[in-house]
Structure 1
Amino acid sequence: MYLLYTVIASLSFFLVLKWMKRRRYFTELKRLDGKTVLITGGNSGTGKETAVALATRGARVIIACRDPEKAEKAVREIKVQSRSFNVFHMELDLANLRSVSEFCKTFLHKEKSLHILVNNAGMPGILDWTDDGFSTCFGVNHLGHFLLTNLLLPRLKECAPSRVITLTCSSYKYQKLDFQDLNCNLLPFFTYCRSKLANIYFSQELARITEGKGVTSYAADPGFVQSGWTCHYSFLFRMVMQVIMWMFSVPCEIGAQTVVYCAVSDEAAKLSGGYFVDCQPATLRPFARDAGVAKKLWEASERLVKLA
């Protein structure tokens, strides 16, 4: 009898886990032939799976990351999985604003079109600093992408209709921005939460600024995915998180579905400035829908990255 109860309890546990991890799969087969896509951090995780999905649809895909060796390996794997040779990489370090500026100059010189920009690369909350003196999490997750998008925005407008997808996370709801200390260095988790909230405000303000100009903007939440973010932490922490991720997270391929939805779907095209979860629009907390805060963050970010 004890064995029977154990089996029933185990089955119930795994069924609950499966139910918690259920996610939609984007099945629309819209082609992207002739379109150019740029994905930051496209060498691993959700970014890599997004690259595979968009290359499979015929897009010219460029992944941007700071490690050339990892990028070359990822490009080979993406080509095999997507059965496309139209995949390339460029070097970009989002923790260095000079690198971002140089990258944009090179990209605009080499690439004559840009139709989809996926601001995917991200850092977990770690107590570290960028080359420009910003906390790494806020500097990479928000400021690096802020400068990148602004410098590439003229090309996006030229190639309209075009889209900008910025990855965020549901953890945004646990923190609010402090404009007296935007470059915060709080507890790592809180720093991460603020950077993800900044991603949402950025996406909303970008949608407002580009309204009627052929560029649409989306904040995409891939959910809790089995990515490699734990590599920045201790061995013990990684082991514990591997167990937790095995139980509660979803594969990166599934997490990428919402990003692909925002990049491809005709439905999403009508909802610029929206927040998307599980391949559908979702409701944000009221404080994350404050247009005044979004505008204030945009102006503050312009000053921080010295964008004229």
Structure 2
Amino acid sequence: MQGKVCLITGATSGIGFVTAQALAQQGAQVVLVGRDATRGATSVEQIKHATGNDAIDLLLADLSSQADIAKLAGTFQSRYERLDVLVNNAGAIFTERQVSLDGFEMTFALNHLGYFLLTHLLLDMLKASAPCRIVNVASSAHRSGRIHLDDLQGERTFGAWRAYCQSKLANIMFTYELANRLQDTRVTANTLHPGFVATRFGHNNAGFKAQFLRAAQMLAISSEKGAETMIYLSSSPEVEGVSGKYFVNQRDVRSSSQSYDAATTQALWHVSEAMVEQVR
């Protein structure tokens, strides 16, 4: 990874932080994206100290906000001449329905549109830097998901798990369609399930449901274990040129039958384009 530039969202804690540190250890120039300046600065110093690599940067952004995503992409492009690895990792579950600054249901806005928009804004840079990689963190929760094209925003029916599973299925469908569109560019796009990981996931919520999420994490795997497939897809020569695949435990496996529905994938892509059109 010497000489390579990596941009990782949700990188100030959990599997994003572990991945950032591992890539830095391999010699990459790593740019962390987070929301909290204090936590971000601490993460940068920890990685520098642990790896001896001083080429660690921090960019702040709320990835549920399209204006923040556009600013993030612009700042990155002004500071760096290339992008070799983009890891879309930031995500959350919301136990109650919330709406983003752009008027979209928060789970969909952060978990799906955040990936979709940031990738599109950086796509020309990625193509110019090829060969390079896009890694989208999804979840096995996608197997319980459906793309509710008539109610993507959960306005008629909202459930936290329903919205989360839909967003993770959207991550996988986005990855597959992106890989198709990037054929012959030497830009690969893959997605993964990291496992049920003991992180800050769900800590943005309050009440009984949030307490349940925290309690459930007592059974979860470590962030180090959960990050293994992210690190593998970001850096391993074994997956050089591999694209449009879903990985679990560093192995290519089939995702749910719904994730291969071409008509729904196309419809989701076009709807997503319309939702981010103002900043694309």
TM-score range, shorter chain: over 0.9
Q: CA deviation digits over 1:56-113, x for unaligned, max 9? A: 0000000011221111011111212223111110111111101111111111111111
1:81 to 44, 50, 57: 50
Aligned to 2:76: 107
Aligned to 2:142: 172
Moved more, 211-220 or 292-301: 292-301
1:130 to 100, 122, 138: 100
Is 1:143 the counterpart of 2:113? The answer is yes
Q: Is the 8 A contact 2:133 2:187 kept in 1?
A: yes
Aligned to 1:286: 257
1:235 Cα shift? 6.0
- Distance in 2, Cα, partners of 1:42 & 1:132: 24
Q: Which amino acid aligns with 1:62?
A: V
Q: CA deviation digits over 1:112-132, x for unaligned, max 9? A: 110000001001133211100
- Structure 2: 5+ residue stretches without partners: none
Aligned to 1:233: 205
Q: CA deviation digits over 1:237-267, x for unaligned, max 9? A: 55544443223x1101110000011111233
Give the 5 Å matches for 1:223-262. 223-234=195-206, 237-247=209-219, 249-262=220-233
Question: What is the SS of the residue equivalent to 2:227?
Answer: helix
Q: CA deviation digits over 1:266-308, x for unaligned, max 9? A: 3323430100011111111211112332222111100011166
- Distance in 1, Cα, partners of 2:241 & 2:262: 19
Larger Rg: 1
Aligned to 1:44: 13
2:185 to 213, 236, 249: 213
- Distance in 2, Cα, partners of 1:252 & 1:207: 27
Q: Which amino acid aligns with 1:267?
A: E
- Distance in 2, Cα, partners of 1:148 & 1:301: 12
Q: Is the 8 A contact 2:31 2:59 kept in 1?
A: yes
CA RMSD for the aligned pairs?
1.5
Aligned to 1:59: 28
- Distance in 1, Cα, partners of 2:17 & 2:202: 17
Q: Which amino acid aligns with 2:165?
A: C
Aligned to 1:12: none
* TM-score normalised by structure 2 residue count: 0.94
1:296 to 244, 260, 267: 267
- Distance in 2, Cα, partners of 1:192 & 1:281: 23
Q: Which amino acid aligns with 2:123?
A: L
Structure 1: 4+ residue segments shifted above 4 A: 235-240
Q: Is the 8 A contact 1:274 1:281 kept in 2?
A: yes
1:155 to 95, 105, 125: 125
Closer/same/farther in 2, CA of residues 304 and 235 from structure 1, 3 Å limit: closer
Question: What is the SS of the residue equivalent to 1:84?
Answer: coil
Q: Is the 8 A contact 1:125 1:190 kept in 2?
A: no
* TM-score normalised by structure 1 residue count: 0.86
